[in-house]
């Protein structure tokens, strides 16, 4: 039987120990402001392969490389003026930029693509760990591939606890959704590969040009994570609705009913909501934790209301559409 993982507080001694484990080729589950990640040395072929193996992740789904400073961007990627503009405006923070890669990043990290997805996280413990490790860190979400992303150390322990040895506890993820990903290989044609807390409108205003949707990849390697049709999915089937009614929830008590905001009537033990007032930032913060809880609740199906509007609603819809995909 594989050994259980150990959870560490973010003390200087523990950070030094975990940085040493990373330099030795090991993996550490780490807190970020988006979701918890499974980190390893992004310059090591062996460490990147261990990440894929621990998650059961397909080799055509590239990893995001995390750096501690904008000065480190040139180590892993070939930046352009547009990328530097976004980095200075939104880093550290929940924005990932796809650029041509350097030879420092092995092909195993990028699904054999000549590009790399790069981010500078804002979580202080993760950034300290990157600095102490002395290498950029590849870190996809710390969960079995395709399952609901983890937003607490306990989520990681319960889903990967037999596959990894080290979990750094930095408290609940502040945002709760994975980073926005923008393709800037051609700065004249930026494309939104994955919506997140940094919205399409914010990126477009920063660049001064529209931000398009890319054509959906049809097999082969993806440019960045989060582009699989089915992803972020609980084991319980998810059904997405434009609008939910409390009456439907009362009629089907074997199912869970998840509203964006608290319904005015028809509440019951199978009725849930993401935020009482429908605040989308708080809804995003609670989305994955709520889906995990409902998945463990013994329900037959999970009915979810589709958030309406632009901005952060686009990111919430993206996660829910993929969670509900057959």
- Render pLDDT for 241-298 as a digit per residue (tens, 0 to 9): 999 988 888 889 999 999 999 998 767 899 999 999 999 999 999 999 999 999 999 9
pLDDT of 213 reads 85
Three-state DSSP state, 51: helix
| pLDDT score at 101 | 98
H or E segment and range at residue 89: helix 81-90
**Average pLDDT, integer, range 94-102:** 98
pTM for the model: 0.95
- pLDDT of 268: 86
Q: Report the pLDDT averaged over residues 299-322.
A: 96
Is it the case that residue 214 has pLDDT exceeding 80?
A: no
- Residue 196 contacts by C-beta under 8 Å, 6 or more apart in sequence? 34, 94, 95, 175, 177, 178, 179, 180, 181, 315
- C-alpha closest to that of 290 among 303, 273, 307, 278: 273
Domain C-terminal end among 186, 207, 228 = 207
The mean pLDDT value for 64-74 works out to 98
Residues 13 and 139 in one domain: yes
| Whether residue 163 sits in one domain with residue 266 | no
Residues 41, 187 share a domain: yes
Distances (CA, A) of 266 to 17, 115, 222, 243, 269: 52, 51, 43, 15, 10
Q: How many domains does the chain have?
A: 2
Question: What percentage of the chain carries pLDDT values higher than 90?
Answer: 88
Q: What is the dihedral of CA 31, 35, 38, 39, to 10 degrees?
A: -60
Last residue of a domain, one of 160, 186, 207: 207
The encoded tokens of residue 124 equal 């202080």
Q: How far is CA 90 from the centre of its chain?
A: 17
The answer to whether residue 25 sits within a structural domain is yes
Residue 215 lies in a domain: no
118: pLDDT confidence band, cut at 50, 70 and 90?
Answer: very high
If asked whether residues 71 and 184 sit together in one domain, one would say: yes
Total H helices, total E strands in the chain: 10, 14
Tell me whether residue 225 is in a domain.
no
What CA–CA distance (Å, rounded) separates 130 from 68? 6
The total number of residues written for the chain in this structure: 326
pLDDT at position 125, please?
98
- What's the domain range around 68? 6-207
> What pLDDT is recorded for position 217?
54
- Helices 200-207 and 81-90: crossing angle, nearest 10°? 130
Supply the pLDDT for residue 156: 98
Distances (CA, A) of 282 to 91, 173, 246, 251, 264: 22, 12, 22, 28, 19
Q: Do 146 and 256 have their domain in common?
A: no
Q: How confident is the model at residue 102 (pLDDT cuts 50, 70, 90)?
A: very high
> Which residue in the block uniquely carries the two structure tokens 């605040």?
279
């Amino acid at each position: 039987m594989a050994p259980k993982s150990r959870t560490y507080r973010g003390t200087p001694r523990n950070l030094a120990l975990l940085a040493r484990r990373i330099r030795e080729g090991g993996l550490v589950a780490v807190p970020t402001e988006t979701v918890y990640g499974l980190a390893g040395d992004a310059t090591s072929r062996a460490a990147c392969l261990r990440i894929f193996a621990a998650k059961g992740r397909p080799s055509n789904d590239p990893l995001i490389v995390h750096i501690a400073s904008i000065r480190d961007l040139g180590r892993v990627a070939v930046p352009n003026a547009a990328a530097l503009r976004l980095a200075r405006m939104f880093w550290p923070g929940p924005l990932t930029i796809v650029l041509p890669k350097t030879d420092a990043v092995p092909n195993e990290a990028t699904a054999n693509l000549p590009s790399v997805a790069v981010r500078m996280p804002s979580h202080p413990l993760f950034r300290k760990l990157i600095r102490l490790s002395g290498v950029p860190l590849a870190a996809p979400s710390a969960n079995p591939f395709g399952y609901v992303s983890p937003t607490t150390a306990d989520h990681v322990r319960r889903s990967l606890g037999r596959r990894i040895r080290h979990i750094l506890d930095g408290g609940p993820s502040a945002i709760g959704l994975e980073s926005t990903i923008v393709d800037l290989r051609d700065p004249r044609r930026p494309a939104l590969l994955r919506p997140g807390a940094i919205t399409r409108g914010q990126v477009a205003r920063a660049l001064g040009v529209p931000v398009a949707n890319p054509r959906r990849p049809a097999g082969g390697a993806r440019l960045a994570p989060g582009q699989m049709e089915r992803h972020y999915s609980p084991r319980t089937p998810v059904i997405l609705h434009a609008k939910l009614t409390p009456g439907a929830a009362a009629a089907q008590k074997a199912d869970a009913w998840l509203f964006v905001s608290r319904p005015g009537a028809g509440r019951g033990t199978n009725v849930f909501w993401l935020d009482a007032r429908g605040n989308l930032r708080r809804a995003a913060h609670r989305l994955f934790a709520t889906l995990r809880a409902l998945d463990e609740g013994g329900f037959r199906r999970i009915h979810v209301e589709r958030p309406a509007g632009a901005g952060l609603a686009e990111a919430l819809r993206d996660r829910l559409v993929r969670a509900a995909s057959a």
